[in-house]
Amino acid sequence: MRKALSLFLMAVLFVGLLSACGPKRDAEQPKQTNNGTEEAKKPEKLVVWVNDDEKQKQALKDIFQKYTEKTGIKIEMVAVNMLDQTKKLALDGPAGKGPDVFYQPHDRIGDIVLQGLADPVDLGDAKDEYSETAVNAVTYDGQTYGVPAVVETYGVFYNKNLVPEAPKTMDELMKIAKEKTNAAKDQYGFLMEATNFYFVYPFFAGYGGYVFKNENGKYDTSDIGLANDGAVKGAELVQSWFKNGYIPKEITGDIMNGLFTKGNVAVAITGPWNIASYKEALGDKLATAPLPVLDNGEHPKSFVGAKTWMLSAYSKNKEWAVDFMKFVTNEENSLHYYEVAGEMPANEKALTNEKITNDPLIAGFAEQIQYGEPMPNVPEMSQVWEPMGNALQFIAKGDNPKAVLSEAVKTIQDKIAASGAGK
């Protein structure tokens, strides 16, 4: 009895504490950004998170220095690994320790906007300076988030010892594959990671496949075009490579790189990040080209990735941060960045500058960019990779492409639904 009484009193005390509820405050909107009619006050410094890479930091240091000379605003450069930045920003931003500007691959934009970490940036007149693909890449829900800095896509590497000229069409490529492949001796005419959706997508898209329908800068995630006739046609093409024994179904990036650098592969499809190691192994025999044209006359539409300067939602100096981002990516600075860090600029004028078009190892990729399309930047994209990768494994094994792709699309839809989208 006594125990019951004391327990009851304890509960009363506890509930009393509970109902003494919460912080006292007016339920007003947390922040009102002043879309300033007046000139924004010049800050003393801007904090910028850059990717933790020695060459990139070195290139950016010079550019930041120039900006300080021009405007008198100090730039505090903080190196944070690009892929860790959003996690860190989610914690540092609310605590007031975050940056004004941070650096992200464009396909993360959907996640970032969902988490409310970035504000849209008005590119204004500068919009025409950037390549259309790059601007599309940073457009989400009809608004541009961030200023694109560099772009990358994949293309053809070829070994001039084995093939004097790059294959222009798919037929030529298949002829090379037929003539030069001798799997027993580890000799291959043509290799690519054909079970990796990232590299296989252009062959789907070239025939009319698509991931999510894109209309006016908005992706319709309920409309998935990875099992339509075009996608199936592309999948059949990919499957024929395995069936004819051109590409072993156990192919991985490591194996491909190993064989290519040994000089056993005539043509390989991969990205510019392999330039350094390939060049070291093959020297002048190495050259690049855009992807060969399909039999319907279309260029395969490779995925383009854009790395982007983004505006932190917690920044207090938004106007100047945007000014800064545009300065870093202007033609002159983009070229400087390309020369030091070796990455292709998103700035159209810089990309078509002869410094880049005359570089035999970059020219192929720079040309391929114009045929490419940006990777979808909606968060639902993260549900696509695994089912499609699995589908390609089944296709490599010889399963019916139509059935496999329909299943994969169903899985993607289920995963999107199960992940809590739209609730």
Residues that bind another protein (CB under 8 A): 2, 6, 9-10, 14, 17-18, 20-23, 27, 30-31, 90, 93-94, 111, 113-117, 248-250, 252, 255, 313, 379, 382-383, 385-386, 389-390, 393-394, 397, 399, 404, 407, 411, 414-415, 418-423
Beta-carbon contacts of residue 415 (< 8 Å; ≥ 6 apart):
383, 387
Query: What minimum distance in Å lies between the beta carbon of 399 and another protein?
Result: 8
Q: Which residue number, 248 or 345, has a Cβ lying nearer to another protein?
A: 248
Q: Which residue number, 187 or 382, has a Cβ lying nearer to another protein?
A: 382
Q: Which residue number, 160 or 249, has a Cβ lying nearer to another protein?
A: 249
Q: Which residues pair with 308 in a beta bridge?
A: 104, 148
Contact yes or no for 268/177 (Cβ under 8 A): no
Query: What minimum distance in Å lies between the beta carbon of 33 and another protein?
Result: 12
Distance CA 228, CA 210 (A): 9
Inter-CA distances, 51 with 78, 90, 103, 236, 333, Å: 9, 17, 7, 40, 17
Distance CA 207, CA 228 (A): 10
Contact yes or no for 247/241 (Cβ under 8 A): yes
Query: What minimum distance in Å lies between the beta carbon of 96 and another protein?
Result: 13
Q: Which residue number, 283 or 422, has a Cβ lying nearer to another protein?
A: 422
Q: How far is CA 26 from the centre of its chain?
A: 41
Query: What minimum distance in Å lies between the beta carbon of 60 and another protein?
Result: 28
* Of the candidates 344, 350, 332, the residue with the CA atom closest to the CA atom of residue 288: 344
Query: What minimum distance in Å lies between the beta carbon of 385 and another protein?
Result: 8
Q: Which residue number, 70 or 423, has a Cβ lying nearer to another protein?
A: 423
Inter-CA distances, 153 with 149, 265, 362, Å: 14, 21, 11
Q: Which residue number, 256 or 350, has a Cβ lying nearer to another protein?
A: 256
Query: What minimum distance in Å lies between the beta carbon of 193 and another protein?
Result: 14
